[in-house]
Structure 1
Amino acid sequence: MPMDTLARQPDAPRALRRPSLTVVIPTRNEARNLPHVFARLPRDIDEVILVDGGSVDGTVEVARELWPSVRVVQQTRTGKGNALACGFAVATGDIIAMIDADGSTDPAEIPRFVEALLDDGDFAKGSRFRAGGASFDITPLRRLGNGGLNGIVNVLFGTRFTDLCYGYNAFWRRLLPVLDLPDPALPQPADGSKLWGDGFEIETLINIRIAADGRRIREVPSTEYPRIHGESNLDAVRDGLRVLRTIASEFGRRHLRADRRARAVVVVPVLPLSQLAWAAGGAARTEYRLEAV
């Protein structure tokens, strides 16, 4: 082949860069569960962040033994929401996945979530109630409550969630500003209470804020399993009421922000220079444009 013809040939295709992946795992006294969880993690994960809430059973030491490159972060306040916010704040991956440390979520499903994001999704939402999903842990009361809360959110926000209260999700890290989570650097309230967003309401809060921002949500069938060892901190009634309060709060927040945006739009007159030649005679015609301030 002549050299000039060869020179005109297109370059050989280059391999597309795979987005990097961070997995955030909140823990508190989960040493006995971590061997199962880490054994199910895909080996090609770029970064594993374990956010510990003051474990006293050797959780951190077990994690480092099982996954030597694990990044350990101490959460700054209390609650699952704060643990996740602390992990998100230091994550470096293009994609962030959030899983539980008690064995209730299967880390081997993570590739499904990544695939949903690569398929033009912004947020991959795990669902136990999509075809292919299941739960071996949900009680009739929790199922009833989850269905009711789903219905309320879908009506108020125009969404189509099937499993609002399931915390197995993944999203692009660039969406962190949309979540607007409490700053991990803020101190714990003196009375011992939680900042809004620091508790179990974090999952509902994230789901609603992603939806309210108009992002593309892909639901991923997922299977929930019973906790392997230890006691759950979940209280169906208490946390259900907190989720209900979250829905009401986010609905009000959405309308408040919409009202502020509406009031921030002002009419600005634009006078073309050609029409400022008053000596030429004739009144200048005023043009208008909408400009957000």
Structure 2
Amino acid sequence: MQRSQQPTVSVVVPTRNEARNLQVVLPAIAAVRPAVHEIIVVDGNSVDGTIETARRVLPWVRIVEQTRKGKGNAMACGFAAATGDIIVMFDADGSADPAEIPAFVQALVDGADFAKGTRFARGGGSDDITLLRRSGNAGLNGVANMLFGTRHSDLCYGYNAFWADLLPLLELPAVDAPAPGDGSMLWGDGFEIETVLACRVAAADLRVTEVPSYERERMFGDTNLRTFADGTRVLRTLAAERRRASKKTEQKDALKGAQPAARIAPAQRPTQPPVRDGQPARNGHAVQNGHAAPNGHAVSNGHAVSNGHAVANGFAPQNGFAPQNGFAPQNGFAPQNGFAPQDGLGAPRPHHRPERDTLPVPPTTEPVTAHFTAVSPTEDVTPVAGPRPAQRPSPRPVNRPAVGSDRPAPDRAAAQREAVDARYALEEEAS
């Protein structure tokens, strides 16, 4: 908020039977330089000619009559009537020094929202405070600092100044509100006004600057302050203002929680391949039958494709050949020394792989064609004469008969035996 560097100043002076003191106080305020904008005397049913005296010693003074009883109500009426940028609270008993007004104004111009006078800072002091009041003020000041997290040194001092635009935040009792019928005062209408202001300024988290001030003794008349009664009221004020601040904080938090969250547009997702069989695509390929496709190939019948060839009987092909009887071929040749496994058992494995000049034997069973087409051999397996193997193969295996549907046809079994006999005959001759 932009505020004036040369603000106008309204001085509010609450009075009740302060005619003699006003003869000194009002001319002293008017003599302050830079000059104040206005002086407002708020009278509380004085019977000693206070209003008449004020107009006589300072013709341009503004007179306002308070609407209810109590110092707090008198101050609220003066605040409502003020037209200056800054409002200064000034007691009429002569205890405050008008020459300190520029220091309060400067503190506000320098950035403070509220300038709080203190008698207990360097440069301040008091000729009027008693030991009892000093002790009571220190105790109440400590309670206030604990409840509101402040570091004030003088809670109950009435010499303060603040920017007029803060009045809505202070929420003082409306000046036109009726007084209670039982003769009591509205909350904030009594001597607790300084405490109410300090607490609400702290609760609003406003910037406060303490200004050293020296308190003189009252010049004429008797004080309207009641030590014990007003001290108890101040203590009650602290408790009540703490509850009020907590309730306002809860209301603010509730309002923040009730506000709808800002809607954020969803991020654009990359286009995904279509979903098949209720499964999302993986690796950029569609899923079939609940299985993901490895190596960029589709899945069929629940089996994955490997190296571009279909899987049969649960085994992946090797070297481009489809498996037979549940066993994968090796090096483009039928399994194990030319003998197909029977009854689910494979022939004994040789100590080394046969060379290319060994005699191949055709497979003993038909290629698996259920759901998949067997891949034909791509290598040339025609018998070729060549050097004999480096060492003898393992002993001739026992050729057990096949069981069930794996039994080979008679003519094919005979062909197998003849081929094996011919092979071993050649190897015996060579050795």
Aligned to 2:23: 35
1:101 aligns with 2:92: yes
Amino acid at match of 2:8: S
Alignment pair present for 1:231 and 2:219? no
What is the CA–CA distance in structure 2 between the aligned matches of 1:104 and 1:160, rounded to whole Å? Answer: 25
Aligned: 1:151 with 2:142: yes
Q: How far apart are 1:156 and its partner, in Å?
A: 1.2
Q: Deviations over 1:75-116 (max 9, x none)?
A: 000000000000000100000001000111111211110011
Counterpart of 1:30 in structure 2: which amino acid? E
Which amino acid is 2:92 matched to? A
Report how far residue 39 of structure 1 moved. Answer: 2.8
| Runs of 5+ consecutive residues of structure 1 not aligned to the other structure | 1-15, 276-293
Give the structure 1 partner of residue 56 of structure 2: 65
AA in 2 matched with 1:25: V
Residues 196-251 of structure 1 show CA distances to partners (whole Å, capped at 9, x for unaligned) of: 00000000000111111111101011011111111111111111100000000011
CA RMSD in angstroms, aligned pairs only: 1.6
Equivalent in 100, 103, 110 of residue 119 of structure 1 = 110
Equivalent residue for 1:20?
Answer: 8
Q: Give the direction of change, closer, same or farther, for the CA distance of 1:18–1:249 in structure 2 (3 Å limit).
A: same
- The letter for the 2-side match of 1:39 is P
Looking at structure 2, the residues matched to 257 and 75 of structure 1 have their Cα atoms a distance apart, in angstroms, of 29
Residue 268 (structure 1) aligns with: 260
Deviation at 1:267, TM superposition (A): 5.1
Q: For residues 3-18 of structure 1, what are the structure 2 equivalents within 5 Å?
A: 18=6
1:205 aligned partner, one-letter code: V
* 2:67 counterpart (67, 72, 76): 76
Matches of 2:166 and 2:82, distance apart in 1: 12
| Closer, same or farther: CA 114–268 of 1 in aligned 2, 3 Å | same
Tell me by how many angstroms 1:150 deviates.
0.9
Q: CA deviation at 1:57?
A: 1.1
Structure 2 residues without counterparts, runs of 5 or longer: 268-431
- Greater relative CO, 1 or 2 (CA 8 Å, sep 6+): 1
Cα 1:53/1:147, change in 2 over 3 Å? same
From the superposition, tell whether residues 245 and 34 of structure 1 become closer, same or farther in structure 2 (CA, over 3 Å): same
- Write the letter of the residue equivalent to 1:164: L
Deviation at 1:273, TM superposition (A): 7.5
For residues 138-163 of structure 1, the C-alpha deviation after alignment (integer angstroms, 9 at most, x for no partner) is: 01111001101111111111101000
Distance, in Å, in 2 between the alignment partners of 1:139 and 1:108 is 24
Alignment partners' CA distance in 1, 2:120 and 2:54: 31
Q: Which residue of 2 aligns with 1:215?
A: 206
Given candidates 104, 119, 130, the residue that maps to 1:128 is 119
Equivalence for 1:255: 246
Q: CA deviation at 1:65?
A: 1.5
The TM-score normalised by the length of structure 2 is: 0.59
Aligned pair count? 261
- Whole-Å separation in 2 of the counterparts to 1:47 and 1:267: 45
Matched with 1:203 is: 194
The alignment partner of 1:263 has SS state of: helix
Q: d(CA) in 1 for partners of 2:154 and 2:5? A: 32
Please give the alpha-carbon distance, in whole angstroms, between the structure 2 residues aligned to 1:164 and 1:17: 28
Using the TM superposition, give the Cα deviation of residue 17 of structure 1 relative to its aligned residue in structure 2, in angstroms.
Answer: 5.9
The Cα shift of 1:269 comes to 4.8
Structure 1 residue identity aligned to 2:12:
V
Residues 271 and 143 of structure 1, relative CA distance in 2, 3 Å threshold: closer
Larger radius of gyration: 2
TM-score by length of 1: 0.86
Q: Which residue of 2 aligns with 1:278?
A: none
Distance in 2 between the 1:236 and 1:216 partners? Answer: 30
Bigger helix fraction: 1
Q: Is the 2:66–2:73 contact (alpha carbons within 8 Å) kept by the matching residues of 1? A: yes
Which segments of structure 1 move beyond 4 Å, counting only runs of 4 or more?
A: 269-275
